[in-house]
Structure 1
Amino acid sequence: MTGSSSYERDRTYITTRITADGRDGYPVEPGRYRLVIARACPWANRSAIVRRLMGLEDVLSMGIAGPLHDERSWSFHLDPGGRDPVLGIERLEEAFHRREPGYPSGITVPAIVDIPTGRVVTNDFERITLDLGSEWAAHQRDGAPDLYPERWRDEIDDVADKVYRDINDGVYRCGFAGSQEAYDEAYRRLWERLDWLEERLGGRRYLVGDTVTEADIRLFPTLVRFDAVYHGHFKCNRQKLTELPALWGYARDLFQTPGFGDTIDFAQIKAHYYVVHHDINPTGIIPRGPDPGGWLSPHGREQLGGRPFGDGTPPALPPASERVPPPAPDAVARRG
């Protein structure tokens, strides 16, 4: 919090990069690194999507922290014995402390860990996705899309910056506001930006150009969590996503695109927010709704044209160990 009771995210990250030429001391090498995510986390969701779209599953393994954590942050409580099977650690903080004993900043996902040393290389979530799409080019699958095309980069950066400031981080500014004034300002900015997106997406299939880009990958994780979490839990409740025709169609279009919806686990998402945020939800009760079945309903966005992967192709199915259950209608909710 700041003096005005506004929420301010700690943006201190380890900015070391894994590059093709290894200029930071960490060259791209198949099998050397492990991407650690949590299904619950929207910032980590971006990396999981890009890894899927680039087809890097065989060269960059992925560890999945569970949805629950305490003041020591993310742990591998879903893995057998409560340890990551590759890194052999119980908590992600162990990898941060091996990099810097007493690491003073947030233990965050996504993080990429150097397996031989057990040290975190980077947790710079914005740079990770850009580098997976570029520095790892020699190991990407045939047909991997270009998510950051040169001719659209200025527009992608502009849109992504607006989305980050007012929506990705904006929902947190609403949820963790320490005063009515701070909340009202965050709420205003959030809905002004969502209205802007609703208008922008009314006549175009994707945010920038006619293919999926980094801009879409940065917006989607917030939209997919909106009705399940942010609408009620973070008090972002002017409307539900399902009440915004263009954004709801756009979000379903992406969800049904290989590489997006197959990274989403609604049960883990809700477990994280409603159980971990004791100050917002002290009872720890997890709501049963909303019914996720609508994510698979027809969206009709094909009529706007565009090709999700451009000249590329869809990714293959995720490895069996990484598959998540598809959304299904909530039988309890339907029984009333």
Structure 2
Amino acid sequence: MITQSRFDRHELARMIAAQGDDHRLLLEQSARVTLQTIGDSVWLRGLIEFSNICIKNCYYCGIRRDNRLTSRYELDDDAIVQAALFARDKGYGSIVLQAGERNDAAFVDRIGRLLCQIHEKTHGELGITLSLGEQDAQTYRYWKQCGAHRYLLRFETSCEQLYYQMHPHDHRHDYQTRLQCLQALKSCGYQVGTGVMIGLPGQSFHHLADDLLMMQQLDIDMVGMGPYLEHQQTPLYQRRHELWPVQRRFQVALNMIAALRLLMPDINIAASTALQAIDPMGREKALRIGANVLMPNITPSVNRRNYQLYDNKPCVDEGADDCSSCIRLRVEMVGRKLALGEWGDSQHFFNRNKQ
């Protein structure tokens, strides 16, 4: 059984801050550990961003409730099912259903029906991840019974003070609620994913080290994290002068992936789209040094430009076929292979449930 590694806060902070030869050696080490522990396979999750309607008002997010300049949309059930069938036919193995956050009864019921429809139409061949924010335990259990088995809920930062620099301090934005939701997801039997933003205003390397240690403490199964990229129509944009240069945020994001791979060798780590927003080969560089999941966007292209959490999001003008056609080449370019038709579940999930 693969065990988690032990690093203290200061060791992790040094790894995360690494530059020059230290940066290169860290990435080389994480690349070796990746091949030794999870191999060279890359799993695909077809990302369906089916609605940008959101009740939250996070200070960093382009689809926040109070952004009146965003055109709101919601895909109908048939469009979502057709996107799922596209993913199945392309051999993606899994999909991610992602949307702005809602928790009203109509939304909860609709997700349950969609999960049942997708499961029926694809004959249970697709793994299904949900990324639908904070819900109560009853909702999480209901959606799991309907066919979801993975859930992604980023805690965004382990520092409560930073959390409230990114969110209003009200009943809809509560730091402890976020952590309680992660525990509820584990109790419901999901493979649990989380993540953070890297390079926030006021964030230090020790904050980021604490983020990784919290992931280890929570014993999560998968991670999606990337560099913070600002959006002009958000309150946090006013603090852009405090940010690290984008290339430094990119470098630190790679260090975070590498350090996490060393800390938790058997989890799934996604190569985030935000990396590609800085470097055209950003996701491929992440695959080379520790990431093992890609999430190609299969949202209809007419809607993609309205699901922009940050400025200059890549691939908003491409169709699902465009994203699909170049994936194999990009993955093989960095010495990895696509595991088509496989769910690509987290080894860590199965390892921790054997204990």
Q: TM-score range by the shorter chain?
A: 0.3 to 0.5
Determine which structure has the larger strand proportion and give its number.
Answer: 2
Higher RCO (CA < 8 A, seq sep 6+): 2
Report the TM-score, using the length of structure 2 for normalisation. 0.33
